[in-house]
């Protein structure tokens, strides 16, 4: 499973997320968007086994932190998505 930290914008707020895909990807993948439950955060270890099973089945998984969580950075800037990206996803600086 490949893991990449990404961000996207929702109503001007920058949202931190993790994008997980199968180890080898040949073209677009069907994706599942997971909002963590139980007041969890995107990087909770509890979710890894589910993500491993989903990516092994060929799905991509986007799991995010909700507004107000510790890793979310709010901005009031509007999102101007690139023409190729409907959700305005960008890579997080490492």
- CATH number where 10 lies: 3.40.50.1820
Per the structure, the complete domain to which residue 12 belongs is given by 2-91
**Rounded-to-integer distance, Cα 90 and Cα 8, Å:** 6
Provide the CB-side half-sphere exposure for 19 (13 A, CA). Answer: 15
- Does residue 13 surpass a pLDDT of 90? no
Residue 52: its H or E element: helix 48-56
When divided into structural domains, the chain yields a total of 1
Residues 6+ apart with CB under 8 A from 85: none
* Residue-wise pLDDT tens digits, 19-71: 999 999 888 999 999 887 666 677 777 788 999 999 999 999 999 887 766 55
Angle at 11 between CA 39 and CA 75, to 5 degrees: 85
Tokens of 6: 């990404």
């Amino acid at each position: 499973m490949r893991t990449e930290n990404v961000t996207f914008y929702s109503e001007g707020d920058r949202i931190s997320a993790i994008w997980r895909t199968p180890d080898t990807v040949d073209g677009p993948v069907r994706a599942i968007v997971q909002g963590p439950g139980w007041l969890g955060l995107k990087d909770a270890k509890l979710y890894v086994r589910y993500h491993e099973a989903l990516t092994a089945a060929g799905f991509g998984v986007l799991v995010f932190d909700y507004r107000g969580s510790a890793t979310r950075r709010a901005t009031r800037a509007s999102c101007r998505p690139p023409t190729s990206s409907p959700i305005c996803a960008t890579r997080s600086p490492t």
